[in-house]
A and B are shown apart, each in its own frame.
Chain A
C-alpha cells in the first residue's frame, strides 16, 4: 500500500520567517494530496490540497508544490505568525473508487512559531 514520509517531525521558526514541510509518497498512482492543520487539542482541518494535474497551488500565505516525477510534495508557509503553530499532516490518495480512495497520512510536523 501507500507509504507517506513527512519531514521534519518538528520545526521551529521565528515569526515572519518561512516554513517548509516536505512529504514523499510511494505509490505513483496517487493523485490527491491534502494538507491538514491540527491545533493543540483540536480536530484536524483541511488547509490546502493539490491534485496531480497541477504543479503548484497558493492560498494567501500558504502554498503547496507537487513533483510527480520525484513523488514528493511540500507545504510552504510564508510570513509565519504565532497562530500558525500547530501540527501539520500531509496525506496522499489515489482518489478513485473502491479501496483506492483511502487517505494515507504522514506522521505529522509540529511547527512552532516563536514571537
Chain B
C-alpha cells in the first residue's frame, strides 16, 4: 500500500517555465490537498478538492492551478514559475475533510525556480 505518491521528488525550473506536479493516492480517500512549506512558515494550503469533481482555493492560490483528474489523482500546475514559488510542495489526502479525519501526506516535491 503506497499511500500518497508525488512526482517528481526534485525539480529545478527557470523563471517563466511551466510544470505539473502529480499526486496519486491509493487509499480511496475523497479529499485531496496541496500545501507548500517554506522555512518558518508552516504548511500553507494552496488548493484542495473536497471530493472528485470539486476544487477550491486555499490560503495561497495565486500562480497555481489544479485538476482533480479522478478520485485517485490531484495535480498542481505552475503556468509561469517565479522564484517566489521555490518551496517544498506536499500533497495530502484524507477520507473525510481534514477537519474531521487524519491527513496523509506524500513525500514532498522540492522545487527550485531560478
Contact = CB atoms under 8 A, between A and B. Distances in A.
Nearest to A42: B107
Interface stretch (B18-26, B38-46, B60-68, B72-80): B38-46
Contact of B105 (A43, A49, A99): A43
Contact of B99 (A42, A44, A102): A102
A57 to B, nearest CB: 14
Interface residues of A, number: 27
Interface string A41-53: 0111110010000
Interface range for B: 20 to 34
A89 B108 CA distance: 16
Contacts of B103: 34, 46, 103
A89 B45 CA distance: 14
B8 to A, nearest CB: 15
A103 B107 contact: no
A115 interface: no
Interface string A31-72: 010100000001111100100000000000000000000000
A43 B99 contact: no
Task: Give the secondary structure class of B's interface.
Answer: loop
A95 B98 CA distance: 7
Interface hub of B41, B42, B99, B103 (most chain A Cβ within 10 A): B99
Contact of A93 (B50, B98, B106, B107): B98
Interface stretch (A14-22, A76-84, A104-112): A104-112
Interface string B8-40: 000000000000000000000000000000001
Which of A1, A99, A103 has most chain B Cβ within 10 Å?
A103
Given A89-B42, A89-B43, A102-B45, 6 more contacts: A32-B99, A43-B106, A44-B43, A93-B99, A107-B41, A108-B42
